[in-house]
Structure 1
């Protein structure tokens, strides 16, 4: 009798396990057991989780830019120019360039001090012919360390890049200074919206008559 009870008990256990297994197979998976959906971050980070490296907009002049004094061959004044920029001279005009930015220094004899009215009447037409798609901005009189100056602002297209053929829209600040029969034109240009306000102020504030 004891052997029969053992067999019967084993049969009950096997049947119970089978019913339990069938019930488990037919039950739907719990929603909490499903795999989480991956989340893709839209922030400015690299795959390693570190902040992505940002690049300066074209034409930005670094905050740590150094400046050196420039005196034209005929003397009469000095002005600070960004250090390391390439230079070229044609007649009484010296041009300093670096990538997309330019500072041009010109001298001429003048009988009287220029005014906003005289510059508008006598000079702007020539500049319009030199700058593609010239667009005149405000003309005003400003004060710098060397004294008053006529400031003419305008925009125009750069020359096409010799490699890519691309053209950059430039912003111009053209300052006209005068002292003791000498007229000095400082023309600063670089891409529109580039960060160059402080460097341009450094240049135009640095003019010193000798």
Structure 2
């Protein structure tokens, strides 16, 4: 019985390492961004980012108005959203698309973000108004909405400056900077109404949506 359990554990660990290796290779392949989105928004002054949990969910009316405001901003700057599924994983799907040119690696992104939260507790605990272990365990579940703390953890984990073009009336552009290292890449996301994230591109360079090239054992 013990041998069988050990074998299963080793197999699971090997699969996780394989997942990370595939994700790393894809990340390196797509890490040299052309900066097209950044050039279009170069005149915008970013608002400092404050890590926090989700606290306000708008009603349908407000959310619809907010998205219209975001679409107007996208049109002004010649940008386009590559839409990801609104299944509770949208933040991780959008980050996955920016890193790997596919939203389908969202599980890997979530695992890496939760590992960052666990390994670097002192960097995030003060922003969490609940038992910290409960918080990161909850964030490890598929379908759990990401928040501004997981965005900071993602920026730190992937050495990425995460740039949000938002629907907020007074806050158009937010930057999330890695806390203890220089960013090696930029990830561009749209964010509307505390509800949904999409992946953001220059309208002339938006890629054709495609399925990730995955081995049968990936996710």
Scaled by the length of structure 1, what TM-score is found?
Answer: 0.22
Structure number with higher helix proportion: 2
Structure number with higher strand proportion: 1
Scaled by the length of structure 2, what TM-score is found?
Answer: 0.22
**Greater radius of gyration (CA):** 1
